[in-house]
Amino acid sequence: MHDDGYFDEQVARTYDRDHGGTDPAEIRQTVTCLTDLAGGGPILEFAIGTGRIALPLVDHGAQVKGIELSSAMVRRLREKETKPPIEVAIGDMTTTRIEGAFSLVILVFNTIDNLTTQDAQIACFQNAARHLAPGGRFVIETLVPPLQKLPFGETKLAFANSATHFGIDDFDVATQCYSSNHVWMTDASHTHTSIPFRYAWPSEFDLMAKIAGLKPEFRWSNWDRAPFDRFSTKHISVWRKD
């Protein structure tokens, strides 16, 4: 039977409520930036999820396909679709192929970190490169590891503390592995999730891109294309295939 990974039916059911509420202005900036990068050509989204970005891209006139591990997440996407269905291949973005030569492959919302080994992250870059037409681009959006916030030897960093949500990340600087731990509370119940990740510095991602035959083109700190600097908490990085 197919394994949906950490984004099973229960997580998929609440994903848009818990994670999908991105500021509409940021979604617009994301879509504008991505369609500019695609230059009118086809876009492939790795880990397309519930279509948080893919559906607004389609609404903006982009041609989009997707690869996604979790069939439960894709079922949520299908419930929201109002246009002809996006072609989605269910499978692992490190190995799964979908037909087409794309202008842009995208992997947003920290999802490169869902691949918990360096080998898997390299394989993801290689699979992105395989799907790109000459001149095509691979873009990732992910966090800058927030290790400067941790006192020496400490591992836990709280990032949410509200009446409905507690969140704590737990970092191991020896392995570059971390887990993101959430408790979501409603009047009736609470749910706990813990998902493993691997962080890497932008320089390590540049090396992965080089191994995959991609060249660095842009690095921004947000979708408005603000410069990346030492205060940036995330990066949007773009590499190009010759």
Ligand X SMILES: C[S@@+](CC[C@H](N)C(=O)[O-])C[C@H]1O[C@@H](n2cnc3c(N)ncnc32)[C@H](O)[C@@H]1O
Binding site for ligand X (CB under 6 A): 5, 7, 47-49, 52-53, 67-70, 73, 92-94, 108-109, 111, 114-115
* Smaller CB separation from ligand X, 124 or 209: 124
Give the count of beta carbons closer than 10 Å to the beta carbon of residue 70: 24
Report, in Å, the least distance between residue 230 CB and ligand X.
26
Spatial contact of 51 and 75, defined as CB atoms under 8 Å apart:
no
* Smaller CB separation from ligand X, 25 or 154: 25
* Smaller CB separation from ligand X, 52 or 65: 52
Q: Looking at the chain, which runs of residues are DSSP E strands?
A: 43-46, 64-68, 87-90, 102-107, 132-143, 156-161, 165-172, 177-185, 190-198, 214-220, 234-241
Report, in Å, the least distance between residue 153 CB and ligand X.
29
Report, in Å, the least distance between residue 139 CB and ligand X.
12
- The sign of the CA dihedral 52, 58, 62, 64 is positive
Report, in Å, the least distance between residue 130 CB and ligand X.
15
Residue 226, both tokens: 């603000």
* Smaller CB separation from ligand X, 109 or 125: 109
Report, in Å, the least distance between residue 6 CB and ligand X.
7
Alpha-carbon 30 to chain mean position: 12
* Smaller CB separation from ligand X, 109 or 171: 109
Cα–Cα–Cα angle for 5, 136, 223, nearest 5°?
70
